């Protein structure tokens, strides 16, 4: 089996609402391997986003730890966590969150420039990713000039621009019609398979979930197989 890239070890996540403590993750255990696509399928309100945010180091676990390529990350400083997110974790959301004043190419260049690449290097990789996602001809178009499917493919390309180890996606096709959703997922799947990324993808789309390597859900704060 391929190496484990992401591991959740007995992860706890709680929120306080007035006098109540709401437990979202309760000793959650999960392992994601290189080149693997895992579907996270669970009803709204069960903690999918919390799981993704904790796995992606956007939220700190209240207990347990998040291990990325063998490194314990749950107790790192904010600066250390930010650096890991920038270099090793890609995020895709239901809404594309592209910067409206920049072109598709510039949106994909942005995380590379923040990482320290030169403009020519960043532009070259951005163009390659747009070609790979089959929207190279739309490189100079702003998000408002792109279709929903094109916007989401740009968002996926931006998420992998820094060649992360892990891709975390929260309903990446949730705003798209079934035909466009399938087309976008085709591009995402090809990217994961050919790059060796490890991907955890939350989705309500059971057809797309069935195309992944395995499916998991959340039950009483724990990650369990479907």
Tens of pLDDT, residue by residue over 164-223, are 999 999 888 877 888 888 888 888 888 888 888 899 999 888 888 999 999 999 999 999
Rounded Cα–Cα distance for residues 55 and 200 (Å): 10
Domain definitions of the chain by residue range: 4-225
Tens of pLDDT, residue by residue over 41-71, are 988 888 888 999 999 999 999 999 999 989 9
User: Do 185 and 208 touch, CB atoms closer than 8 A?
Assistant: yes
Helix, coil or strand: residue 154: helix
What superfamily would CATH give domain 4-225? Answer: P-loop containing nucleotide triphosphate hydrolases (3.40.50.300)
């Amino acid at each position: 089996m391929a190496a484990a890239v992401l591991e959740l070890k007995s992860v706890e996540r709680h929120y306080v609402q007035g006098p109540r403590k709401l437990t979202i993750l309760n000793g959650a255990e999960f392992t994601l391997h290189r080149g693997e696509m895992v579907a996270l399928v669970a009803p709204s309100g069960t903690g999918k986003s919390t799981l993704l945010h904790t796995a992606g180091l956007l939220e700190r676990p209240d207990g347990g730890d998040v291990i990325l390529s063998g490194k314990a990350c749950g107790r790192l400083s904010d600066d250390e966590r930010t650096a890991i997110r920038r270099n090793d974790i890609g995020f895709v959301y239901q809404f594309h969150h592209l910067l409206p004043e920049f072109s598709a190419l510039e949106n994909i260049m942005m995380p590379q420039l923040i990482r320290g690449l030169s403009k020519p290097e960043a532009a070259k990789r951005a163009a390659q990713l747009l070609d790979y996602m089959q929207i190279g001809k739309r490189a100079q178009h702003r998000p408002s000039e792109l279709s929903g499917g094109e916007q989401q493919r740009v968002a996926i390309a931006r998420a992998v621009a820094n060649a992360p180890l892990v891709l975390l996606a929260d309903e990446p096709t949730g705003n798209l019609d079934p035909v466009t959703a399938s087309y976008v997922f085709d591009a995402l799947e090809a990217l994961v398979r050919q790059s060796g990324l490890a991907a955890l993808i939350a989705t309500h789309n059971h057809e797309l979930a069935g195309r992944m390597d395995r499916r998991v859900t959340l039950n009483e704060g724990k990650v369990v197989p479907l």
